[in-house]
């Protein structure tokens, strides 16, 4: 298995879904969210396995850039932690890629 640097170098950033999957791991999303497609099992934030069945692409994007604009649920309870905003952390291409990847999670 190669290093994260090798993985980053080998990802085709013109494929937004593949780029978004990489960003999910690289930017720490897997540290809080469960998502089978990314081998993530954390429970601090909402499970994202079927996020696209619950949220439109615009809502996913808003959750990434303005996470406090919506009350996230973790099961039947509010989540234990507030997600940080990725405004200014991710560029537009990265936000689009992460949104595209999460839109595949039905």
Structural domain spans, the chain: 14-103
Look at the block and give the residue holding tokens 């996913």. 60
Predicted confidence at residue 12, as pLDDT, reads: 66
CATH assignment, 14-103: 1.10.760.10
Smallest CA-to-CA distance from 84 within 50, 44, 40, 54 is with 44
Measure the CA–CA gap between 102 and 106, rounded to whole angstroms.
9
- Banded pLDDT at 56 (limits 50, 70, 90): very high
Q: How many CA atoms lie within 13 A of 30 on its CB side?
A: 15
Predicted confidence at residue 31, as pLDDT, reads: 94
Determine how many CB atoms are found less than 10 A away from the CB of residue 77. 7
Look at the block and give the residue holding tokens 């937004």. 16
- Banded pLDDT at 81 (limits 50, 70, 90): confident
Whether the full predicted model's pTM is greater than 0.85, yes or no, is no
């Amino acid at each position: 298995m190669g290093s994260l640097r090798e993985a980053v170098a080998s990802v085709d950033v013109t494929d937004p879904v593949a780029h978004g999957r990489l960003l999910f791991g690289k930017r720490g999303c897997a540290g809080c969210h469960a998502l089978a497609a990314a081998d993530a099992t954390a429970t601090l934030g909402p499970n994202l396995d079927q996020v696209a069945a619950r949220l439109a692409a615009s809502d996913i994007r808003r959750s990434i850039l303005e996470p406090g604009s919506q009350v996230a649920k973790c099961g039947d309870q509010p989540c234990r932690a507030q997600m940080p905003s990725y405004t200014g952390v991710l560029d537009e291409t990265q936000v689009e890629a992460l949104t595209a990847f999460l839109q595949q999670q039905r």
